[in-house]
Amino acid sequence: MNRQQMNGGARRAVFTPVDNRARVDAVVRRIGDAIELGLLADGEQLPGESELAGQLGVSTVTLREALMALRQQGLLTTRRGRGGGSFVSLPEVPGEERLKARLRGWGTEELRDLGDHWAALSGTAARLAAERTEPEDLLQLRRTAEELARAEDAAARGRVYGRFHVELAAAAQSARLTREQVALQTEVGALLCLVLADDEYREEVADRHRSVISAVQDGAHRTARELAERCVQESTARLIALRLTL
């Protein structure tokens, strides 16, 4: 191989960002989760490639690879020509099966790490909220805990579970913790549907949320932190246990 060739394609490939694969996976997860959660509806058209790449902060090459993976998973179809583009298509397989396929894309170590990050966010949020909360701040959290206890379909349960943790971060008066929690819920929300489909566990989570609210209201900041951490750890443990059966 001469020098000229080295300066060509192969050499350029050496100097592309190393985390490209991770970026593709991240985009696949993000859009796949949005479809599972019903944030993107069956038949909905995605924005154009360059616009979508810009919104997600990735190159169009990365985006194209991700769209291809989503097509292979049967979550997108592409139509060419006028009025063409990428469209959300929900396959016939039941939602639970598709979610399990998504969960298979996670290693148990990754799930454990996700749980650690989540527990750090929600535990700290609960502690700060207990220090900084007065009764009116708790109205939204109470409403969300009751909504979870009533939510019928699994996707709605996942969304409302996530909202509780976002509202907890907001009650801590921290914009940074809130932004982190919103980002984390876009990753974990779809997966949580899998463990929340069980009515008994859904009720347990609603109870755990109610006891976090009580500790926050009492200003019991250590207890609030422990309860929030335990709630998150229990959900992660269930996800990992489920992952090991797949």
Partner 1 sequence: MKLATAALGTAPEESVAAEVGSALESVFDAVSATRAETTALLARVAADHRRPATVDLAALRPGLHLRLARNALVSGVGFVAAPGLLGDVPAWLEWWQSGAEGDVRPLLLDLDPDHSAYADYTHWDWFALPRDTGERAVAGPYVDYLCSDEYSLTLSAPVETEGRFAGVAAADVYLRHFEAAVLPLLRRLPGPAHLVNARGRVAASADPAHLAGSLTKGPDFAAVLESARPARHDGMRLIPCRGVPLVLVTSPR
The residue to which tokens 């469209």 are assigned:
87
* Identity of the residue, 22 or 139, whose beta carbon is nearer to partner 1 in the bound complex: 139
Phi, psi of 86 (to 5 degrees): -100, 130
Binding residue (CB under 8 A) for partner 1 from 170, 195, 212, 239: 170
Q: Scanning residues 177 to 196, which ones bind partner 1 (CB under 8 A)?
A: 178-179, 182
Binding residue (CB under 8 A) for partner 1 from 29, 102, 163, 225: 163
Does residue 166 touch partner 1 according to CB under 8 A? Answer: yes
CB of 148 to partner 1, least distance (A): 10
Binding residue (CB under 8 A) for partner 1 from 71, 143, 210, 238: 143
CA 122 to chain centre: 15
CB of 177 to partner 1, least distance (A): 8
The residue range among 13-21, 46-54, 89-97, 158-166 that interacts with partner 1, by the rule CB under 8 A, is 158-166
For residues 20 and 59, give the distance between their C-alpha atoms in angstroms, rounded to a whole number. 10
* Identity of the residue, 115 or 189, whose beta carbon is nearer to partner 1 in the bound complex: 189
Binding residue (CB under 8 A) for partner 1 from 92, 109, 136, 152: 136
Number of residues in contact with partner 1 under rule CB under 8 A: 25
For residues 237 and 241, give the distance between their C-alpha atoms in angstroms, rounded to a whole number. 6
42 to each of 76, 88, 94, 131, how far by Cα in Å?
Answer: 9, 5, 14, 44
Phi, psi of 126 (to 5 degrees): -65, -40
Torsion from C-alpha of 70, 22, 125, 228, nearest 10 degrees: 70
- Residue 173: helix, strand or coil by DSSP? coil
For residues 6 and 11, give the distance between their C-alpha atoms in angstroms, rounded to a whole number. 5
The secondary structure of 93-112 as a DSSP string is: S-HHHHHHHHHTTS-HHHHH
Nearest to 212 by CA among 117, 116, 148: 148
Between 96 and 135, how does the x/- string for binding to partner 1 read (CB under 8 A)? -----------------------------------xxxx-
* Identity of the residue, 144 or 236, whose beta carbon is nearer to partner 1 in the bound complex: 144
Q: Scanning residues 4 to 43, which ones bind partner 1 (CB under 8 A)?
A: 37-39, 41
- Residue 76: helix, strand or coil by DSSP? strand
CB of 108 to partner 1, least distance (A): 28
Q: Which residues bind partner 1 (CB under 8 A)?
A: 37-39, 41, 131-134, 136, 139-140, 143, 159-160, 162-163, 166, 169-170, 173-175, 178-179, 182
